[in-house]
Amino acid sequence: MNDMKPLEIKKIFENAQDFLPLNGTDYIELYVGNAKQAAYYYKSAFGFQTIAYSGLETGNMDTVSYVLNQGKIRLVLTSSLVADSPINAHVNKHGDGVKVIALWVDDATKSWEETTRRGAKSVFEPKTEKDADGYTVRSAIHTYGETIHVFVERSHYKGVFLPGFQPMVDANNPSPIGLKYVDHMVGNVPLGNMGIWCDFYAEVMGFTQLVSFDDKDISTEYTALMSKVMSNGNGRIKFPINEPAEGKKKSQIEEYIHFYNGAGVQHIAVATDNIIETVTALRQRGVEFLHVPEIYYDTVLERVGTIDEDLEPLRDLNILIDRDDEGYLLQIFTKPVVDRPTLFFEIIQRKGAQSFGKGNFKALFEAMEREQELRGTL
C-alpha cells in the first residue's frame, strides 16, 4: 500500500470549507469477537488478502489484529487477548462492528488541532509511532455513537501498514473479486440526531451536504427514514447519515439502533468496475444478498433508460439500477454480515452517476422489511 503517495486533489464541492484535506479512507477497523475467524470470512467470501498482523508473535500481549487489503481498501479486524478490555466491552455492547473510520491526511497534528478547536471530542492526541520502516503520526476524534475517526499521516512510513505490525503472507488468500475502493460509509443515528451529526461534519470537519432524502422519498407502507449525505471537498469521503422517521412499524434503522445499542456504521459501500463479475464471485462464495422481486425488472429500463449491460445477468444476480443527471449506477446490498441485524455491505458500480440509488429505495426497503419480518423485528 506504499504506492499511496499524496496526490493533487481537486476540490469539487465548492461549499465545503475543506480546511481538513482528506486524501481518502486509510483503513476501516472492526472490533470483533474472533479476529482470526473474521479474517477467514472476509478473505474467503470477499476476496481480501492478508497483508499484516499484530499479536502475541509480534510482542503485542493485549490485542490481535489482522490487516486485509483489496484494491485501495484496508480492513483491520481486531480482538482482545485479555479479559477486561474496551474491545470486549465494545463487542459485548454492539456485536462485531466498525470502531474506526481512519482518514488519510497529510498532517495528523493539524487535523486534530483544527477539529478539536471546532468542537470535536478528542480520543487521543497526535502521537508518533516508529519502527525500522519509519514513522507515522496518528490522532483521533469521536464521531457518532462509539465510532471514532483516526487521522493517519504516513508520508514518512514505508512499512506494510503501521509501526508495530509485521507483514503477513498467508497461504490461504482466495482470489480478489474486483473491489476497488470505499465509495461511502453510512451511519445510523437515533431519531432527532441526524441534524446534529450533519452539523458535526459541516462545522467540525468542513464537509458540505450533497443531498437529503426525507420520509416522502424513503417510505414504504410500514417504515420511513430520513437521510442526508455529507461529503468532503474532493468528494473522496462521503458519509450519508440516516435517522428513523415515524412509521407504522419498527423501521430498519430502529432495528439497527436497537441491536447495535446506539448509533454506528450501517453499511460500507465498496466500488467495483465490473459488478456482474464481482457479484457472481460473491454469490459463488456464499455471500447472501437482499432480494428484490422479479417485477422490479419488468419496468426498470423504462425508468433508467438504456444501459451498457444486458438486463438478464443483472436480473439473475438481482443487481439494482438507478439513474441521475450525470449517468447511472448499479448496486446491490448484502444481508447483514454479522450475527445481529446491523452491519452490511453495498457493492456499487458507478457509470457517471454520483448519487446513491434513490430510485431503488422503495424496492430495497420492502426487501429489508421482508427480512425483518422473518426476524420478528418489524
Q: Which residues bind Fe ion (CB under 5 A)?
A: 269, 346
Element (H, E) at 30: strand 22-31
* Nearest alpha carbon to residue 12 among 307, 234, 283: 234
174 HSE (CA, 13 A, CB side) = 16
Q: How far is the CB of 353 from Fe ion (least distance, A)?
A: 12
Is residue 330 a contact partner of residue 309, using CB atoms and an 8 Å limit? yes
Point out which residues pair with 346 in neighbouring strands: 269, 333
What is the radius of gyration, based on Cα positions, of the chain? 20
| Least distance (Å) between residue 343 CB and Fe ion | 13
Strands of the sheet containing 344-351, edge to edge, are: 208-213, 224-231, 238-245, 179-188, 264-272, 344-351, 327-333, 320-324
DSSP codes, 212-246: EE-TTTSB-SS-EEEEEEEE-TTSS-EEEEEEEE-
Nearer to Fe ion, 114 or 255 (CB): 255
Residue with cell 479474517: 39
Least Å distance between CB 346 and Fe ion? 4
> 184 labelled as ligand-binding?
yes
**Complex with Fe ion: residue 346 or 371, whichever CB lies closer:** 346
Q: Considering beta carbons, is residue 223 or 266 the nearer one to Fe ion? A: 266
Q: Which residue lies nearer to Fe ion by CB, 18 or 346?
A: 346
Tell me: is residue 346 an annotated ligand-binding position: yes
Minimum CB distance to Fe ion, residue 266 (Å): 9
Give the distance from CA 150 to its chain's centroid: 14
In angstroms, what is the minimal distance from the CB of 268 to Fe ion?
A: 9
Give the nearer residue to Fe ion in terms of CB position, either 243 or 346.
346
148 close to 116: Cβ distance less than 8 angstroms: no
- Which CB sits closer to Fe ion, 64 or 320? 320
At a CB cut-off of 8 Å and minimum separation 6, what does 78 contact? 29, 30, 31, 32, 35, 63, 64, 65, 87, 99
CB of 186 to Fe ion, least distance (A): 5
Could you list the residues known to form a binding site for Fe cation, using ranges: 184, 267, 346
Could you list the residues known to form a binding site, using ranges: 184, 267, 346
